[in-house]
A and B are shown apart, each in its own frame.
Chain A
């Protein structure tokens, strides 16, 4: 067995005939070996494990292939490696089919050579299978959609990956990432402290940007409407997307939280074929939602994360998830439709195109919603051809970005996508998947394309018209309530400084009060008796009769003794003079400068207390 048989160099340089001969030799060698050698422990274990993975759907796909070749041109590896017949999807699926036939099919067990039944014998055989399953397929499911028999080749390839992973045969990158997800709880090994630090950092930035202390990222808050999960890539490499999502939640006045643990929505179990890892990773998220008692789970823009968490992990973990799960695409779109956020499409005037993530389009049916959102946030949107469920893979899917040994082949296969993007003339390629972001960015750099990658969250956050969003409306709605709190009240503002009178008078008038102004002590005493106000704001330092004297006279006269008086002064040293005097104390005291909210709030409280006393 030649483990190098599928290397990129051979795949791209050897002529078809040569490839065919080599493949035939490999097959012959393998069959010969199969007849003469006992399988290695790993090879034996792999065959035993296959029996535990078979269900009716899988068996149907294993026996249903008629080798018609219709899947051939559906694959981006085939299109970019025209001289390598081994790139064809049915050949890749046949690797599992051969093992199945040899172990489980009547004809295969009696006449294995007749139907191509075969089993891996050596560890080198397993390495060859690893290169095929991990290195020549991104599980994008495009071939599945082009099979007249309905054979799900992508599922078979994932099954093969899972069998290999179970016996410890996998690319190093897959091993490392899986280990991190098992042991640390997220696939990029982000420590809890670093993650929380990042959230706090993003929180501070957002508060500074929108100048609102309430625009923080709530961590582990209970009883929220939404628990928001992310791809670890966001925390580790691109936290701006977290801040942008937070900005959108804040603008929509959403009740939301991010968990300090169980926040990784991604799932390397989907890529490695390890159902146990898949189930465990999914359950971590589900359990956190229930622990925090959130009403629903919102999954950030991540194709495989969404597919794993919403569609696959319930099966891998045998869990009936009791709360709704949605992609943030829907959340953002609904905010706009419900009027909770308002966006201006004119903010983005560049030409944009949309790349459908394989997992979202082909495995989860999400194709129109991102387009709807895109049309609301950009003025020049053009479709990539083909698109939606027929779109080509970004070539970074299926965990390909973590398998550096296959990078040269991946980049060759990316030519299809590069041509698709170039044909649109777009300068921004929007996608709703973090894997796609990385895959596309890599191919844009490799093929020197004049464009960049963005996500819908970027476009939506940038296009927000904050003053028309729910959070602003809420604030505006609160203001009239503040105005009304002094409605019907008559307030005598006593201050010798015109600026101070204007400020106090305006704020209190805005709060609904009727204002009477006095510029000095005598006028104040006269107006107090004449107008009988509900409350007097009294400055202390005034020429002539100062505030202390006015206060004493007001308290000393039976007509005005019970009046609510709030001292508002820029001279705190006078406070003692009043408070030391042997008479009733003022009902309130404020130090200039005083904020409008504190002033209105303070006076309202004084009036309320006074009313209660009486």
Chain B
């Protein structure tokens, strides 16, 4: 942790790491909970005439997030896919910022890193606002949204904003001399880490399971990789 940190910052950093441990524990329990449900066995004979297999389908399915051409919804909504990609890169940068700033701050003080992290968190912030507007304005999105959906998005959007400012502060672009932004960002990240396992944001934990199983099932039957004209 940063050697010259103030006691407030130090406390924020400690809390931050503790919440990470808590999140790890809760996630472990989540995965164990999911594994408690027996996986359905497919007794049907393999389809696909040797073109594909359960394993091939599963791997293809796991790579889905990186293959926007594989789904009609992402081919047609390429801008939406782009925002998805940037949004998630923003999350990656935000998390990296939180952890690296407590471990080795000089790294995030480097201009290239600062610009990269700052740009992605800033873009993610804008996308977050756009998504919030979409969720509030589009009837179907409003219909399917739960308070958790709104709160998770709001929390992330604010987190991106604070993250962007924090990155600017760390990089020396901010005029505020205090560590306030960093402390605020770390506490927000801590809350984020605590809340995530109980919210929809934990979807990335389930992604490998859902995609693996659907890919395996459809690959076994010969339908995955997707057969389109």
Contacts and interface: CB of A to CB of B under 8 A. Distances in A.
Whether chains A and B associate is yes
B32 to A, nearest CB: 12
Given A60-B209, A88-B144, A390 B72 contact: yes
Contact of B73 (A23, A73, A369, A386): A73
B44 A150 contact: no
A151 B72 contact: no
B199 A57 contact: no
Given A59-B34, A60-B34, A311-B221, A321 B74 contact: no
Nearest to A362: B223
B138 interface: yes
Given A315-B43, A363-B221, A365-B52, A148 B72 contact: no
B44 A312 contact: yes
B119 interface: no
Interface residues of B, number: 63
Contacts of A74: 72-73
A114 B47 contact: no
A198 interface: no
Contact of A60 (B74, B206, B229): B206
A149 B213 CA distance: 11
Contacts of B203: 64-66, 149
A549 to B, nearest CB: 75
B76 A73 contact: yes
Contact of B200 (A17, A24, A67, A387): A67
Nearest to B51: A365
Contacts of B224: 365
Give chain B's interface secondary structure class. helix
Contacts of A57: 39-40, 213-214, 217
A388 B227 contact: yes
Interface in A139-175: 144-152
A442 to B, nearest CB: 25
A90 B145 CA distance: 10
A73 B138 CA distance: 13
Interface stretch (B2-10, B104-112, B146-154, B184-192): B146-154
B177 interface: no
Contacts of A72: 140
A20 B142 contact: yes
Interface string A585-601: 00000000000000000
A140 to B, nearest CB: 13
Nearest to B71: A146
Given A315-B42, A324-B45, A386-B228, A54 B214 contact: no
Given A60-B34, A365-B51, A386-B72, A69 B207 contact: no
Given A311-B44, A315-B42, A365-B223, A149 B210 contact: yes
Contacts of A56: 34-35, 37-40, 209, 213
A146 B47 contact: no
Contacts of B210: 60-61, 64, 149-152
Interface in A1-58: 16-17, 19-20, 23-24, 54-58
B39 A64 contact: no
Contact of A67 (B47, B49, B149): B149
Nearest to A385: B229
Contacts of A20: 139, 142-143
A106 B215 CA distance: 27
A340 interface: no
Contact of B139 (A85, A90, A150): A85
> 9 tightest CB-CB pairs across the interface, nearest first?
A365-B222, A116-B146, A85-B140, A150-B211, A146-B73, A150-B210, A314-B43, A365-B223, A150-B214
25 contacts: A54-B37, A55-B37, A56-B35, A56-B209, A67-B146, A70-B74, A73-B73, A74-B73, A88-B144, A91-B144, A114-B146, A146-B73, A149-B211, A150-B64, A151-B210, A310-B45, A311-B47, A315-B40, A315-B44, A364-B223, A365-B51, A365-B52, A365-B223, A386-B228, A387-B229
Given A55-B37, A69-B138, A389-B223, 12 more contacts: A64-B206, A67-B149, A91-B144, A115-B148, A145-B71, A150-B64, A324-B45, A364-B47, A365-B227, A383-B229, A388-B229, A390-B72
Interface of B: 34-35, 37-45, 47-49, 51-52, 61, 64-65, 71-74, 76-77, 80, 84, 138-149, 151, 198-200, 203, 206-207, 209-215, 217-218, 221-224, 226-229
